Amino acid sequence: MLKLVMVLGLLSGSTSATASGPPYVWSAWSKDVAFFGVPDTDDGTLTVFCDRADGLSIGGSLARDAPVGGRVPLTLSGQGFSTRRSVEVSECDGLCFSTPVKADDPAIKALLAGRPLTLDQAGDHWTVSGKGAARVLLPLIKACGVARRK
C-alpha cells in the first residue's frame, strides 16, 4: 500500500493536459511504473504500475471528492469497450484511485494498440493518449511477470 501511495502521490491532481503546457507523453519512472504526463515531473493523469503482490494496476487522480479508503465508480472506455469499475480511493496530492487490471484487460490492450483510453468519474472525463504507450508498457508487463494473452 505504501508503494501505491508513493506512485499515486507523484500525480499532481491534474486530470487534463493544457494546450499551453508541455505535452503529455508516456514515460517510464522505473521498470515497475509507466506514467502518462510531463516527464520528470509529477504532472500527469495516469499510471500503470506493478505491485509484486497484486500484479498490474491502473491509478490516477480523482476528478471529484470522495472519502479516503472508500470506493467510487470509474468508467474506462475506448474503441469497442466500456467497463465500469469500483475503484479504491487513497490520499496523495489530493485524491487518487487505483484498480487492478490484467495484461489482457481492454484498457491495457487499447493503450498497447496506441488507442486512447477515456476515464470517467461522475461525469468528469479525461482521455489519455495511447501513442507511445506500448514502448513503456510492454517492458513493465514483462518485468511484472504478467502474461499477456493475444
Rounded to an integer, the average pLDDT of 6-13 is: 45
* The CATH number, out of the four listed (3.40.1630, 3.40.50, 1.10.287, 2.60.40), of the domain defined by the range 2-143: 2.60.40
Instruction: Give the separation between CA 84 and CA 127, rounded to whole angstroms.
Output: 15
Which pLDDT value is given to residue 106? 96
Q: What strands lie across the sheet with 117-121, from one edge to the other?
A: 25-30, 33-37, 44-51, 55-61, 94-100, 81-92, 71-78, 117-121, 124-128
Q: How confident is the model at residue 28 (pLDDT cuts 50, 70, 90)?
A: very high
What are the residues whose beta carbons fall under 8 Å from the beta carbon of 39, sequence distance 6 or more?
Answer: 25, 27
- Residue 64 DSSP one-character state: S
What pTM was estimated for this model as a whole? Answer: 0.81
What pLDDT, in 10s, does the model give residues 104-140? 999 999 999 999 999 998 888 999 999 999 999 999 9
Beta bridge partners of 47: 35, 59
Find out whether 50 and 1 touch, Cβ atoms under 8 Å. Answer: no
Interacting residues of 45 by C-beta distance below 8 A, sequence separation 6+: 11, 14, 15, 16, 17, 24, 36, 37, 60, 61, 126, 128
CB 75 within 8 A of CB 120: yes
Domain borders along the chain are 2-143
